[in-house]
Structure 1
Amino acid sequence: MGWPLVRLGEVAEQVSRGEPPVTGTDYRLLGVRLWGQGAYERETIDGSETKYATLYRVETGDIVVNKIWARNGSVAVVGPDLHGTFGSSEFPTFQTNNARLLPDWFRLFTLTKDLWDQCDSFSRGTSGQNRLRPAKFLEIQIPLPPLAEQQRIVARLDRVAGLVRARAEAAAAMEADLQAMLAKAFARCIDAAPRRPMAEVAPLIRRPVEIEPDGAYPELGVRSFGRGTFHKPVLPGSEVGTKKLFEIAPGDLLFNIVFAWEGAVAIAQPADTGRVGSHRFLTCVPEPATATADFLLFYFQTPEGLQRLGEASPGGAGRNRTLGLKKLETIEVPLPPLETQRWFDRLQAKARQIRDIRAASARDTDALIPALLHQVFGAGDRAA
């Protein structure tokens, strides 16, 4: 834009509002998210619960820096909701000269790759502990238009950001309505429907893979919470060892036995052709005249279905909860007429189309603010 680059130390200075913590007094502690995503309230503690001899109060408009993670964009401007919160000495605070630099202008700058790269270049220390010293932070250069121009651009981008947030909130509300509609339709479909065990409805099918030392075996993974499959790196045959691998075919109802209890169930897609899984991935194939994979998958994502998977996965939390094969085979699933299942699958397909359209629109919308930041600051922003 042709604006002059100004050293931050010319338009801001470090401030210190230190207070020794007092037992019996509550202190709201501040945190700073990465990549310019702002500050937040971490927790409230009693003065006796901190190891720091001094806590530092922040005020609205302050710039706060996380010394260790500044190189990853952990820099923020304090909003009114965080006025009066506290940070440790790891969070140095700076105050701008509002006659030359608006705090909100710097807030926009925290979203740019230019700032992150400068913080990274000034950070020093051992690996994982590359701190940014306050004096070095003040060496950062920032594009500085006239105050009126700062105000105009901030107002424009904040207005656009508000529209983007409103759109995201509306999309979330529509998604909730869509999911509620599907849940009600599914409940009608299975009302009074007979139930049969998975061993009869969708028996386990194993397709052992013969391992060649010079072979390559691309693995498939299953995300939790019904978020589908994903591709793992290719596993060289020489590294398979004693692990058994099994072929996965499109249309398989696939269970990750370690995390099935939290919805790690998916249908293998055409793009997953040729992928393999270890013994931890169970492939069930619905009987074509009895059930559809889409219908069964929806059931296993309902509260009842997740409860059944949880009951079939004994043990403690996390990796200690493993879905038992025999227990999976005994889970009784609702089985309305095949045509009813196919009707519901068509309803799901329409819902997926709507979601795909929304997702494409959301990607375009999400790119709007970064594009505007790039236009304003020139140096660009971090790709999402």
Structure 2
Amino acid sequence: MSEWKTVPAGTVATQRKDVVTLTPGVEYRTMGVRWYGRGAYDRGAGSTETIKAKRLFRAHEGDFVFNRIDTQNGAFDVVPAELHGALATNEFPLYVLDPDRLLPRFLLLYFQQRSVLRQIDTMRAGSEGRSRWKETDFEAWRIPLPPLSEQRRIIDVMAAVDAQIQALQEEFHRSLSLRVALFLSSADLQEVSIEHVANVSQGKALPKSVQGEQSGELSWFKIADMVGLGNEDGYTCAETRLPPEQVKSLKGIAVPAGSVVFPRVGAAVLTEKKRILDVDAAVDENHLVLTPKEGVLPECLLAATESIRLAELVQPGAVPSLNMGLIRRARIPWPAESGTDLNNALARLRATTRGLREELLHIRNVRSALLASLINQETEIPESYDALLTEVY
């Protein structure tokens, strides 16, 4: 296997400057690039009343584009057909690649590598006050340049992996929506106040002096733990874990497993995140807690809570917040009978969702390792693979 040469990106990429001067009274379709690999998107219509810039740049299908702000978060893409003709500000530079030397999809894969994003982050961090990764940075960045045939093989293999991830994501989202849909499809639902089925309380402040300490078995959750690994489908383990007697001495309160919690204050309220406790645990003062009353089934309580929008209960003010009194009086759908079968079905669906989430994490890690291995030439796709490409295309 011959070693690929590396070249500055600017030797195979030329910035496209298809300038459009904005005219008052005219609306223009605009585009941007999201972070975290979510790619190019339609930003909607804009005019001179909403766009500060006096001129924008027209994107063409197949252009390579990135977001100059926080580029280390993976804000790269290839302009798709549906955004052909959309306009971008100078925060989203557009590049035409030399078709005889570099394929846009290969360059995108290169910039999806975690190691490359870390290098970009290190470079930006080393320059005080610098918040943008500019065109000169991109053009000076050295990239590998394998033969086009090898670029095509890598693109095709990674596309197959991405198709599997996409299929798994769709199954995961179906599973998420199915649980609440199953609950709402129950024939005997009635509307009750939350206080009819649960005791409403607030968590207790987690002292800064012990935050992050892991000296015991009782988790003390902060709102940030909601997105922690393993907590997305139910609270299982917090960053802070203390002995029960220490939690008690710090005026923390252990909440029983099966309780449902959600944010009480701040922007987190508007995320509509709700979590069920899979273990006995303490939660901080930024949580509101619904503890099921006797005979109330926890999975049904979770689904009922997930079926309402907390944002509609937010008190007006600069900072979104929820009042315990309002939560107690809030109305939720509830089965007239005990609903044991329904509760068990909801529990199985939640377990399925958690399993799919774990599988997605695993396959994304496999993708990352495979991509790095291919671009570092640790793994080679044989030339015989081209026969498959010919058959497919």
TM-score normalized with structure 1 length: 0.73
Select the structure of larger CA radius of gyration.
1
Is this contact kept in 2: 1:39–1:78, CA < 8 A? yes
> Structure 1 11/114 Cα, relative in aligned 2: closer, same or farther at 3 Å?
farther
**Residue aligning to 2:41:** 40
**Aligned residue runs from structure 1 range 124-203, under 5 A:** 126-127=128-129, 129-184=130-185, 187-190=186-189, 198=195, 202-203=198-199
**Residue aligning to 1:268:** 277
Identity %: 22
> Structure 1 345/331 Cα, relative in aligned 2: closer, same or farther at 3 Å?
same
Q: Could you tell me which of 252, 259, 278 is aligned with 1:253?
A: 259
- Given the alignment of the two structures, is residue 299 of structure 1 paired with residue 304 of structure 2, yes or no? yes
Partner AA of 2:364 in structure 1: D
Matches of 2:57 and 2:163, distance apart in 1 = 31
Is this contact kept in 2: 1:17–1:57, CA < 8 A? yes
TM-fit CA distance, 1:80 = 2.0
TM-fit CA distance, 1:245 = 4.1
Matches of 1:367 and 1:279, distance apart in 2 = 33
TM-fit CA distance, 1:264 = 6.1
**Aligned residue runs from structure 1 range 103-114, under 5 A:** 103-114=104-115
Q: Could you tell me which of 360, 363, 366 is aligned with 1:365?
A: 363
Q: Deviations over 1:295-323 (max 9, x none)?
A: 333333334xx68x96xx57326855433
Secondary structure, in 3 states, of the residue corresponding to 1:55? strand
> Structure 1 119/334 Cα, relative in aligned 2: closer, same or farther at 3 Å?
closer
Matches of 2:109 and 2:204, distance apart in 1 = 55
Secondary structure, in 3 states, of the residue corresponding to 2:140? coil
Partner AA of 2:187 in structure 1: R
Matches of 2:13 and 2:93, distance apart in 1 = 13
Secondary structure, in 3 states, of the residue corresponding to 2:238? strand
Is this contact kept in 2: 1:257–1:324, CA < 8 A? no
TM-fit CA distance, 1:254 = 4.7
Matches of 2:204 and 2:317, distance apart in 1 = 30
> Structure 1 126/262 Cα, relative in aligned 2: closer, same or farther at 3 Å?
closer
**Aligned residue runs from structure 1 range 212-251, under 5 A:** 219-221=220-222, 228-229=234-235, 231=238, 233=240, 245-251=251-257
Secondary structure, in 3 states, of the residue corresponding to 1:68? coil
State how many pairs are aligned.
Answer: 353
**Residue aligning to 2:390:** none
TM-fit CA distance, 1:190 = 4.0
TM-fit CA distance, 1:161 = 1.7
Matches of 1:276 and 1:170, distance apart in 2 = 31
Is this contact kept in 2: 1:246–1:279, CA < 8 A? no
Q: Deviations over 1:334-370 (max 9, x none)?
A: 5745xx3333322222223322332333233333432
Is this contact kept in 1: 2:31–2:41, CA < 8 A? yes
**Residue aligning to 2:4:** 3
Q: Deviations over 1:148-198 (max 9, x none)?
A: 2212221232233223313322443354445433432xx23546x9x7983
Tell me how large the CA RMSD over aligned residues is. Answer: 4.2
TM-fit CA distance, 1:100 = 0.8
Partner AA of 2:328 in structure 1: L
**Aligned residue runs from structure 1 range 55-94, under 5 A:** 55-94=56-95
Structure 1: gaps of 5 or more residues: none
> Structure 1 314/67 Cα, relative in aligned 2: closer, same or farther at 3 Å?
closer
TM-fit CA distance, 1:146 = 0.7
Is this contact kept in 2: 1:67–1:91, CA < 8 A? yes
